[in-house]
Each structure stands twice: as structure tokens, then as C-alpha cells.
Structure 1
């Protein structure tokens, strides 16, 4: 069992790229040997996903802990591997740069930063099978270790959704203000005995 922090890079082709900064892809593939001689087994991420969830896994640029560029909104193990969906924070300069590089096709890899919790080495082939992984981060990278781990979509958040979200936020703020006013009026009524 290894307690060192490790990284695994994987690549999948990029889909459409827009200015919204929503990205999707496979961060890890099951049953596929990477260039480092490791194979991630199905279910390897189950415990860490239950423990941390998508919000507890950082979205970094090139495994640099000093350069978070967004948040992962969904991490799901399916029959193929660990499918990741996230949102680049476009108020961060590095995230805007990353989006530009993703859209141009210059960068399209995903890579995991993890600790191997359970692993077995095949003595004949030297391949290490990772059966439990403590996932810390998933990075957008230039060169993934697993060539199939790539961002396969950069999606646009439709303007209607953004406008809808703004309208909903305005309604919620108005409701909150109305409730505060109602509470103040009730408090005042109690003070003066009405």
C-alpha cells in the first residue's frame, strides 16, 4: 500500500468549446494500462466519492495546488471510468487562459492526483492494479499519462439559463426582503401592543 501522493493523466478528445467554461471528460479509465504501468479497477473511486463528493475534489491547472481554476460539479463512476463535469471560474485569469487553450485544442487532458489506498502488483508483468484510490484533485493538463483521459466537451450555458437564474435570484431576493419587512412589522406591532 502506497501513501505517497501520485498523479495519473488521461486523455479524451475535446468536443465543442464555448465561453461558458463548463467542461466534461473522463479523468480515469477502468481496465486500461497507462504509460506508468498502472490499471485503475472499477469501483476504485467509490469510497472517496462517498467521503468527499465532487465538491471535495479540487479542479487544478497542471497539478499545481496554487492554481485552482474552478470546481467539479459531478464525479461519477460508470462502466468506462471516472466521468467528471466541472465549471471553470472565469473570474480567475488562469481559468480564462485554460479555457482558451482548451477551445483551441492546445490542452485537452485530464489527470488525477491521488493516494493509492489498495493496490496489487502483478509480479509477472509489473502492472499495478489500483483497487482503491483516495482522490484529491483532478487537473486540466497538457500531457495525460493515460492517453484516453481527455476533456470531451466544453459546453455553453445557454443565455436563457443564465437569464432564468438571474430572474430566480431577483425573485428570491424580493421574497427575502418581503419576509424581513413582514417580520419587522410584526415585531413593531408586538411592541406597541397591536
Structure 2
């Protein structure tokens, strides 16, 4: 299965307190269709269809992680399905076996921790140049985490640095957010990203050297 950029990405959503039960079970939406998020992205209906089928065929539950930490699974999910709103999930925490799961459950019940966040790879997407919106049409779902904030896991500056450290290129929207947090105005970030990174991404996809693009971006960071 070919992943675009080979970079796992995250999206987060809030859930309601009354969807967290005393026995450690909970429900909510791992993703909502049709809304434009802070990355300028939309998840399209059907984006999870193939991934859900593959997870069901495996016979194993999708992991519930703590704060996207791969070394800290705290439960899993029995139900994964798409409805008219988005990706509906029902999960459970191993509160009697894993101390971190019990801690997460207590924090969820008291609304201190109130987010669900999906970890996924992009398989297929489309880009609307006019509206500058990226539509995610097929995703490879890897996990759904319990997270503290129903917002970005980390500042875009650190996110882009992490992507570069792995030898990959950020998406156009990720780089624009990176520029904004680096001090550029929205219009400046749009121009720099569209004229600079877009060209680098195009060259990389058409057979150009990714190493040249990575070097250019790393040099840009050092100059800031």
C-alpha cells in the first residue's frame, strides 16, 4: 500500500462527557466529514471505507493510544463505521490492567482530556487551487488516540522539523502553517509556499531529487 510522503498525520476532534462510561467504554467521532480544518483539509465521505474493511478482516482491534505514543496503547475499538457525519467509533480502555488507561479514563470522565485524534497515512487526495483546500479521499487508518486538546498535537514548526528529520517533505498546507508560526503573514506564507514548496514537491513527484528539496527547506529553517 503506497502512502503519500510516507508521513503519518493526525486530526483531532472533541467528544462529549456522556459518551464515557464507568466500565471504560466510550464513543465518539474520530473524524468529521466536510469541515475544513486548520490545515486547510477536508476528509471526504468514503475515505475510511477500505481501511475499515481491512481492519475488520484482520480480526484485530484498532489500537487506542495515549497521545499518539506508539509505546502506550491503552485500549482498542470494537466499532468503526462511517455514517453521514463521519467516522463513528466505539472503544474501550483497559482500566483494570493498564495504569495509564485508568488515568486516561478518570481524566476523560472529568473532561480534563477531551479529544479523539486519528493517526493515518494519506493514500489519495485532491487539491483545489482556487480555494486552496485539500480533500482527503482515501486514508489508511493506523490508530485513534486519546488526546488532551481537540486541536493540533504540536506546533507546526515542530511538526515540519520532525517531517524533515525523517527525510520526507511536508504538505503544502503544513508548510504554510509552519511559515505563519515562523512570523510570516498569511499572504506571505501563501506566496512563499505556493511559489517555493509547491515547485519542490512537483519536482520530487516528477522524478527530481528529493534530497535537493530537503536541503533547500532545511537551509530555509536555519536562516530563520
Same fold (TM over 0.5): yes
Gaps spanning 5+ residues in structure 2: where?
153-224
Gaps spanning 5+ residues in structure 1: where?
147-194
Check the 8 A contact 1:55/1:73 in 2, yes or no: no
How far off is 1:142 after superposition?
A: 1.2
How far off is 1:16 after superposition?
A: 5.5
For residues 118-169 of structure 1, give each alpha carbon's deviation from its aligned partner in whole angstroms, at most 9, with x where no partner exists: 01121122211000000000001112238xxxxxxxxxxxxxxxxxxxxxxx
For residues 19-70 of structure 1, give each alpha carbon's deviation from its aligned partner in whole angstroms, at most 9, with x where no partner exists: 3100100000000111222110000000001111283421101100011010
Secondary structure of 2:108's aligned partner:
helix
TM-score using structure 2 length: 0.62
Q: How does 1:120-159 map to 2 (within 5 A)?
A: 120-145=126-151
Check the 8 A contact 1:118/1:132 in 2, yes or no: yes
Distance across 1 between alignment mates of 2:40 and 2:151 = 10
How far off is 1:106 after superposition?
A: 0.4
Indicate the structure (1 or 2) with the bigger Cα radius of gyration.
Answer: 1
Distance 1:79 1:104, change over 3 A: same
Check the 8 A contact 1:111/1:140 in 2, yes or no: yes
TM-score using structure 1 length: 0.71
Distance 1:84 1:16, change over 3 A: closer
Q: 1:111 aligns with which of 79, 101, 117?
A: 117
Aligned residues, how many?
146
Q: Does 1:67 align with 2:72?
A: yes
Q: 1:79 aligns with which of 74, 81, 84?
A: 84
For residues 89-139 of structure 1, give each alpha carbon's deviation from its aligned partner in whole angstroms, at most 9, with x where no partner exists: 011010000000001110111000000100112112221100000000000
Equivalent residue number for residue 107 of structure 2:
101
Distance across 2 between alignment mates of 1:51 and 1:78 = 18
How far off is 1:14 after superposition?
A: 2.1
Check the 8 A contact 2:61/2:78 in 1, yes or no: no
Secondary structure of 2:36's aligned partner:
coil
Distance across 1 between alignment mates of 2:19 and 2:79 = 19
How far off is 1:12 after superposition?
A: 2.9
Q: 2:23 aligns with which of 17, 20, 26?
A: 20
- Larger helix share, 1 or 2: 2
Equivalent residue number for residue 53 of structure 2:
50
